[in-house]
Structure 1
Amino acid sequence: MSDYYDSGNESSNEEDDLEDDSGVLLALEPEPNQSSLADGLNYDDDYPHKVLSTEDVMKHMNESIKEVNTVVQLPQTITRILLNHFNWDKEKLYERYYDGDQSKLFQDAHIVNPNHLNSFVKTIHNGLEFCIICCSELPSNLMTGIACGHRFCCDCWVHYLTTKIMEEGQGQRIFCAAHGCDILVDDQTVFNLINEPKVRNRYQHLITNSFVECNRLLRWCPKPECSHVIRVEHVDFKPVKCVCSTVFCFLCGDNWHEPIKCDLLKKWKKKCDDDSETSNWIAANTKECPKCQVTIEKDGGCNHMICKNQSCRADFCWVCLGPWEPHGSSWYSCNRYDEHEAKAARDAQEKSRSALQRYLFYCNRYMNHMQSLKFEHKLYDNMRCKMDEMQSNNMTWIEVQFLKKGVDILCQCRETLMYTYVFAYYLIKNNQSIIFEDNQKDLEGATEKLSEYLEREITKDNMSVIKQKVQDKYRYCESRRRALLSHVMEGYEKEIWEYQS
């Protein structure tokens, strides 16, 4: 037996006492109200991480560019494009840069080799250049181009870049405006041409977002209204906490889902989202017409079925799916059909029905805890009222914090229990799975009791009793939660868990 197994039994007296008491290269202005959090190092489960603001991310990106630039000695705009080409993996960039085929490297990255810049030819007539986009002859000072040598008027460039940035959402891969040219427009050109703050900020945000998405050590906070980024030292299946209090899994970016790993959660969500269970229900509750194969659901007691398909109208028996005509004879019985065919049909139907019932068993409990978790969050509002009431009865602010602690642990337990049912759904039965289910049962019972205590009315007479009971119960809940999680983690380390396909 595992060291983490515990029967979970508590003193019965405890339960009875209350039963009767009812900028990539050109830094832009930082966003308003966004303070630097670069020094905010957090340690959760020995997993250090930093919370970065958008401004911090820009600084980190520029630092990475400068670090690489000291090695490759290239213009910063070219270095940024190269880093993006290698998903900001500096080691891969160094390896390719020094493998002796730099021309191929720059070609693959859609950059003009800075060591072999083409000397572009300008068509000048009386000090004028021709823009092939707007078909205008303009003074040379109103024309500009990039390293590939293609030059257009500034107005055409601005319109082209603005469209790419604002309408198409492109930042990292804006190619030259010349037809068929695959050279990327560099950041310096964009910032030199674009003066509108809205477009400049949008471009900066696109580059910053790409930097975060490509960098395996960075991840956006999943909360929609939050614009912070988490930075870690190494990627792992661990929880990280943002300044907005959102706790999520750094490995997959979803809400923290211990004890299940990311692959099982992804598999579960796909199962819940697709129509596989609808198909299971159809297989478990319907049959096909033996003549036209249309799906039929029985809605009455009579076994005489008439297909509703106008081109079919077959008469058959719901039980044996044979023709109905001989069923009226005294000598005929439905048990006359072929036993092999009957057994195969029964087995298929039972297998489908059993799979559906098993899925619904775990899904209902998963959804129940998810729904309860939403309701428990309302307890925070009730808790504040209770805390105010208790303080008015000569209790200090510190003394009433047990209520907040209780609700915090209650929500943690609900969340853990919710994911334990996903884990149990895929788990193949063995001795360790029985221990897991016992731990799950203990935690579930304690969690429900804690929820009951927290919802009780508080009076001056029962205040001290409720405080003691809530504290005892949330400590017990937390110990049971840790025991369950420790047992699962032990199973991961020893590779004792086996899963159903």
Structure 2
Amino acid sequence: MSSDGENDEFLYEDAYDDAFDQDDEVDDLDSMSEPDVYDALSPAIEEAPQRKPYDVSWKVKTLQEIIDMQTKEISKIQSVLEVPPSSAAILLRHYVWNSEKLQEQFWNDPASALEEAGLSPPSSPTTRTSTLPPSPTRRTTRSLKAGPSTSLPKRARSINTGSFECPICCMEFDELSVPSQTYSMGCEHRFCKDCWKEYLVVKIKGEGESAKIQCMESGCGRVVREEVIDDLVEKDVSRRYHNLLNAAFVADSSTLRWCPHPNCEYIIQCTQAPPRMLNQLVPTVECKCGHDLCFGCGYAASHRPVLCKIVRLWEKKCADDSETANWLQANTKECTKCQSTIEKNGGCNHMTCKKCKWEFCWVCMGPWSEHGTAWYQCNRFDEKSGIDARDTQAKSRASLERYLHYFSRWANHEHSAKLDGELYQKTEKKMEQMQNSGNLSWIEVQFAKQAVDVAIKARVTLKWSYCMAFYLKRNNMTELFEDNQRDLERAVETLGYSLEQSISDTESIAKLRQDITNQAAYVQKRHDILMDDTLKGYLERRWEFSVDI
């Protein structure tokens, strides 16, 4: 994966072009005299990092940049269609910021395009703030939309030629106060400004509406303009209104997404992950806040190597009480030898019973001695257990056992990743100990923290790999996937065990440092192999799933 300004989006050719654009004559002379000389600080084209075929490029935008994007598009439509800025904004929001579709509809039938968007026809005035209400002979009773005072009489009438009575609050206004204390749009539906204000506050703060706030008259589709709202409501309400408009702009765009992490106001822009490609890509991006997220589904972390649809199906299945009622994810299990209750307090799955000293695997409860050999099959479910299921009850039990096999490993790696997170504090103390006992510098002991980072990253990948394995159909490709999964899992467990070892003397520090460094490098290698093969498999359509993706 890559981000603009950090790796693949930086175009080195453009950097050279910009350099040669400055002072053409001097550059020409330089190129004639020394054609092979270049700035040593400039990156060479061949040094540009290669982007993986399954990676996407993205940009991180600020809120002001999003506002500037809207302003630019509104200004463009305003000049092309020759309409006021507020009308251009309403038209763009109605057509979901598709300027091409907007222009096509507008030039075919301007009146229809304006009316559908909630604007007055071309010949109609936009507002009538100073126009007095129609005469009593032409004024009729109207039904009003649910507003701030719907329990009041729903009527609108003129007391006399120059006075006006608000249809909602029944407040009467004389001829002099009508222009300043009442308001009507091009639809000529007039109400007092207090009712307008209360109505807008309810819509904005109560209902969270912004782009589609319409006239209070029932059946009227005229949209209230931005400048009208800014004039009628308080500043805090106006600020909330514009925030909602910005949020709606991001939500309407298929290339923009808010960062889902708390207190982060950045927006991610990605043009390479349309919905039609989400069955072949897992578009993981990184925000400037330092957190990963999936641009496809908005998941607040990386869920590679699993497709977005599979993640949704898995989480729905895990949340289904019918599936999880028979499984209580406990933090304790019983020793298979002496039945003593054992609590897992570390990320490593290599467990040792303090009572009988039996060494076993926390995941499958099998002897740990088999996990370092070719017989290591802890990650693979025995499909034969469901082949002989004849009756419905037996098949249901086999299906549940299969689900629990993958769910327990998924949940275990999630739990282990959290426990490994606690290793940071232990690792910091161990790093201080190595500095004091082994006469190592601060930089020389960073290998321990880096190893913890690698272990946590690998555990998250393993967690989601079990989600994917649950939905994979059994074939040769699945066998290869599980082989890669097994190798990574075995490497992570070895690294996790080394990270939890204590330091006894100076010689053990040197050996531990070498072991952890080598093991972390091997974990990273196995992680990259699993990730690379799996994500490329989507593009090559190698994976077959038991559900429609």
The 1:345/1:249 distance shift into structure 2, 3 A limit, reads closer
In structure 1, what is the Cα distance between the partners aligned to 2:4 and 2:164?
52
Residue in 1 aligned with 2:294?
249
1:188 is aligned to 2:188: no
Residue in 2 aligned with 1:483?
529
Residue type of the alignment partner of 2:201? T
1:210 to 228, 233, 248: 248
Q: How does 1:3-22 map to 2 (within 5 A)?
A: none
Shift in Å, 1:128: 4.7
Shift in Å, 1:358: 0.6
The 1:473/1:94 distance shift into structure 2, 3 A limit, reads farther
The 1:175/1:413 distance shift into structure 2, 3 A limit, reads same
The 1:483/1:109 distance shift into structure 2, 3 A limit, reads same
Amino-acid identity (%): 37
Residue type of the alignment partner of 2:272? H
**Residues 204, 210 of structure 2: 8 Å contact kept:** yes
1:410 to 455, 458, 462: 455
**Residues 57, 208 of structure 1: 8 Å contact kept:** yes
Residue in 2 aligned with 1:474?
520
Q: How does 1:283-322 map to 2 (within 5 A)?
A: none
The 1:377/1:65 distance shift into structure 2, 3 A limit, reads farther
1:361 is aligned to 2:361: no
Residue in 2 aligned with 1:428?
473
1:240 is aligned to 2:285: yes
Shift in Å, 1:135: 2.0
**Residues 118, 149 of structure 1: 8 Å contact kept:** no
The 1:250/1:391 distance shift into structure 2, 3 A limit, reads same
1:66 is aligned to 2:75: yes
Residue in 2 aligned with 1:303?
none
**Paired residues, number:** 400
In structure 1, what is the Cα distance between the partners aligned to 2:81 and 2:419?
57
Shift in Å, 1:52: 2.3
Residue type of the alignment partner of 1:435? L
Shift in Å, 1:269: 1.3
In structure 2, what is the Cα distance between the partners aligned to 1:374 and 1:184?
50
Residue in 1 aligned with 2:211?
172
Residue type of the alignment partner of 1:211? F
The 1:234/1:90 distance shift into structure 2, 3 A limit, reads farther
Q: How does 1:305-384 map to 2 (within 5 A)?
A: 346-384=390-428
Structure 1 counterpart SS, 2:191? strand
Shift in Å, 1:356: 0.7
Shift in Å, 1:156: 1.8
**Residues 498, 512 of structure 2: 8 Å contact kept:** yes
In structure 1, what is the Cα distance between the partners aligned to 2:445 and 2:205?
52
Shift in Å, 1:182: 1.7
In structure 2, what is the Cα distance between the partners aligned to 1:280 and 1:457?
39
The 1:149/1:381 distance shift into structure 2, 3 A limit, reads farther
In structure 2, what is the Cα distance between the partners aligned to 1:381 and 1:279?
36
Structure 2 counterpart SS, 1:57? helix
Q: How does 1:45-194 map to 2 (within 5 A)?
A: 47-98=56-107, 100-117=108-125, 122-123=132-133, 128-138=163-173, 139=177, 140-194=179-233
Structure 2 counterpart SS, 1:87? coil
Residue type of the alignment partner of 1:186? R
Shift in Å, 1:118: 7.2
Residue type of the alignment partner of 2:169? C
In structure 2, what is the Cα distance between the partners aligned to 1:175 and 1:486?
52
In structure 2, what is the Cα distance between the partners aligned to 1:487 and 1:127?
80
In structure 2, what is the Cα distance between the partners aligned to 1:460 and 1:222?
46
Shift in Å, 1:71: 2.6
Shift in Å, 1:77: 1.5
Residue in 2 aligned with 1:258?
304
In structure 2, what is the Cα distance between the partners aligned to 1:397 and 1:277?
49
In structure 2, what is the Cα distance between the partners aligned to 1:470 and 1:115?
78
Shift in Å, 1:157: 1.4
TM-score scaled by length of structure 2: 0.68
In structure 1, what is the Cα distance between the partners aligned to 2:493 and 2:68?
48
In structure 1, what is the Cα distance between the partners aligned to 2:322 and 2:103?
48
Gaps of 5+ in 2: 9-50, 135-159, 275-281, 328-387
1:452 is aligned to 2:497: yes
In structure 1, what is the Cα distance between the partners aligned to 2:98 and 2:422?
45
Shift in Å, 1:40: 6.2
Of the structure 1 ranges 160-169 and 399-408, higher mean CA displacement relative to structure 2 is found in 399-408
**Residues 146, 189 of structure 1: 8 Å contact kept:** no
In structure 2, what is the Cα distance between the partners aligned to 1:118 and 1:496?
59
Residue in 2 aligned with 1:29?
none
Of the structure 1 ranges 442-451 and 69-78, higher mean CA displacement relative to structure 2 is found in 69-78
Shift in Å, 1:207: 1.0
In structure 2, what is the Cα distance between the partners aligned to 1:378 and 1:114?
66
TM-score scaled by length of structure 1: 0.74
Residue in 2 aligned with 1:310?
none
Pairwise CA RMSD of aligned residues?
2.6
The 1:437/1:457 distance shift into structure 2, 3 A limit, reads same
Shift in Å, 1:129: 4.0
In structure 2, what is the Cα distance between the partners aligned to 1:481 and 1:119?
64
Q: How does 1:388-399 map to 2 (within 5 A)?
A: 388-393=432-437, 394-399=439-444
In structure 2, what is the Cα distance between the partners aligned to 1:261 and 1:160?
44
**Residues 318, 324 of structure 2: 8 Å contact kept:** no
**Residues 389, 395 of structure 2: 8 Å contact kept:** no
In structure 2, what is the Cα distance between the partners aligned to 1:190 and 1:248?
36
In structure 1, what is the Cα distance between the partners aligned to 2:408 and 2:302?
20
The 1:42/1:199 distance shift into structure 2, 3 A limit, reads farther
In structure 1, what is the Cα distance between the partners aligned to 2:525 and 2:57?
24
Structure 1 counterpart SS, 2:58? strand
Residues 346-393 of structure 1, C-alpha deviation per residue, up to 9 Å, x if partnerless?
A: 521221111111111011111111111111122222233333333445
Shift in Å, 1:265: 1.1
- RCO comparison, higher one (Cα < 8 Å, 6+): 1
Structure 1 counterpart SS, 2:74? helix
Shift in Å, 1:216: 0.8
Structure 2 counterpart SS, 1:253? coil
